[in-house]
Amino acid sequence: MADLSDRASLDVPPSWSLALRRILEAPGVVLVVGGTDSGKTTFCKLLARTGAEAGLRVSFVDADIGQSTVGPPGCIGWATVSKQGALTEKALWFIGTYSPAGHLPEVITGTRTLVARALRSKAELVVVDSTGLVRGWTGYQLKTAKAQILRPRHLAIFAGQKELGPLPLVLSTLRSVRIHRLRVPAGVRKRDPAERRAYRETRFREFFSECSELTFAFPDLFLWGRSWYRPGTPLTEAQRVELERRLQITLAHAERKESMTFVVRAARELERYAESVPAISRRGVRLLPVETWKGRLCAVEREPGDALAVGKLLSVDFKTRTVRLLGRRLARGRGRILKIGAEVPV
Ligand SMILES: Nc1ncnc2c1ncn2[C@@H]1O[C@H](COP(=O)(O)OP(=O)(O)O)[C@@H](O)[C@H]1O
Ligand SMILES: [Mg+2]
């Protein structure tokens, strides 16, 4: 697992030193807010390492699901920090995408849950890193809600960035939260989308090097992509048989959503029925090959977000009621939800 000791040529502005000192005088939960490439993660690592060196019990909660420090991208991660700056992963909270846009409630809930777990484990300093999504109404909602629900003792915000808009002012209204204004250091490097993608790939490669093939009994609920918001209800056996008779095809699985019946079957069979698909679609039925999900990021969860295992989906077999993934088992217990997210780049 990664550590926090890669700090050879660090430019530490006076505003950073001051914030470090004031935070370590009264440790607690620290939320760090700023735009993309402002130095958030660098500051978080420096703070966590300095706190650990000073003898505090330190946790790192990494809510940056795009450019992760703890765990693979797509997940919020919680790790403890050793005195030497080594990270030990404790839990992953599954989001399934590489940006919080469209998933604000899950990101806020997950961050809150992992911070609470860190505090229950007696952490004295909890450093919370986050994405650079601060722009516009979405950024305002995300950062304001997160700050209010976490009620951190300290909030470190990168000042002087246009994209923050009203956030510094809004966050300064929070009672009992000490605000620290940080300067974007001269040494910050802007990273282009290709570099951010490459970093994600590296994080995934590291993660998969510690994964193995896992098999789970089919959970109660099966959710994927944007339609998590509209989970379907599986058809009863009788309804499925009736649908098969009407469509003249064999279905691997069928479920009803708000207005459509969602049907899954093998791709090779789909071809045979290709001609009838457009007509069927017009009647509110969508056919989807079961292979659609192969290779996607997925999690088997105890309850929404709370991952028992995270990995890359290998297969979903509706007949034997099993799910296979190349993944890592994180906790014991029974998986109730299979959630399928974005494509994995490696
Ligand atoms: N204080 C600093 N001194 C030198 N380099 C820095 C410093 N802060 C950030 N950087 C570099 O700038 C880039 C972006 O910093 P990072 O902390 O990842 O930003 P953010 O988390 O806000 O996106 C990284 O390559 C990082 O190494
Ligand atoms: Mg970062």
Q: What does the H/E/C string look like for 113-167?
A: HHHHHHHHCCCCEEEEECCCCCCHHHHHHHHHHHHHHHCCCEEEEECCCHHHCCH
Amino acid 53: pLDDT: 97
For the CA of 38, the nearest ligand = 1
Amino acid 75: pLDDT: 98
Asked if residue 6 belongs to a domain, the reply is: no
Asked if residue 134 belongs to a domain, the reply is: yes
How many Cα atoms are found within 13 Å in the side-chain-facing hemisphere of 181?
9
Same domain, 224 and 176: no
Look at ligand 1, atom 16, and give the residue with the nearest C-alpha.
39
8-67 residue pLDDT tens: 689 999 999 999 999 999 999 999 999 999 999 999 999 999 999 999 999 999 999 999
Q: DSSP assignment, residue 292?
A: G
2 φ, ψ to 5°?
-65, 165
* Distance between Cα 14 and ligand 1 center (Å): 16
256-305 residue pLDDT tens: 877 677 777 766 666 656 555 555 555 667 777 777 788 999 999 999 99
CA of 44, closest atom in ligand 1: 17
Same domain, 94 and 195: yes
Same domain, 204 and 221: no
Same domain, 243 and 137: no
CA–CA separation, 70 vs 26, rounded Å? 25
CA–CA separation, 62 vs 301, rounded Å? 19
At residue 5 the predicted structure's pLDDT band, cuts being 50, 70 and 90, is low
Look at ligand 1, atom 20, and give the residue with the nearest C-alpha.
37
* Distance between Cα 258 and ligand 2 center (Å): 38
Which single residue is written with the structure tokens 């509209």?
230
* CATH number reported for the structural domain that contains residue 161 in this entry: 3.40.50.300
Token readout for 106 is: 């899950």
Mean pLDDT for 227-232 is 59
* Distance between Cα 49 and ligand 1 center (Å): 16
* Distance between Cα 43 and ligand 2 center (Å): 9
Domain count for the chain, please give it.
2
List ligand 1's pocket residues with C-beta within 6 A.
Answer: 10-11, 34, 36-42, 132, 185, 187-189
Same domain, 226 and 175: no
Do residues 333 and 303 make contact, with C-beta atoms less than 8 angstroms apart? no
Same domain, 255 and 183: no
Token readout for 231 is: 């989970």
* Distance between Cα 188 and ligand 1 center (Å): 5
94-148 residue pLDDT tens: 999 999 998 999 999 999 999 999 999 999 999 999 999 999 999 999 999 999 9
Angle (nearest 5°) at CA 35 between 201 and 43: 75
Look at ligand 1, atom 25, and give the residue with the nearest C-alpha.
189
Asked if residue 133 belongs to a domain, the reply is: yes
Look at ligand 1, atom 7, and give the residue with the nearest C-alpha.
188
pTM of the model: 0.92
Q: 179 pLDDT exceeds 80?
A: yes
For the CA of 6, the nearest ligand = 1
For the CA of 62, the nearest ligand = 2
Its domain, for residue 18, covers: 14-208
Residue of 32, 184, 189 to mutate, ligand 1, most atoms within 8 A of C-beta: 189
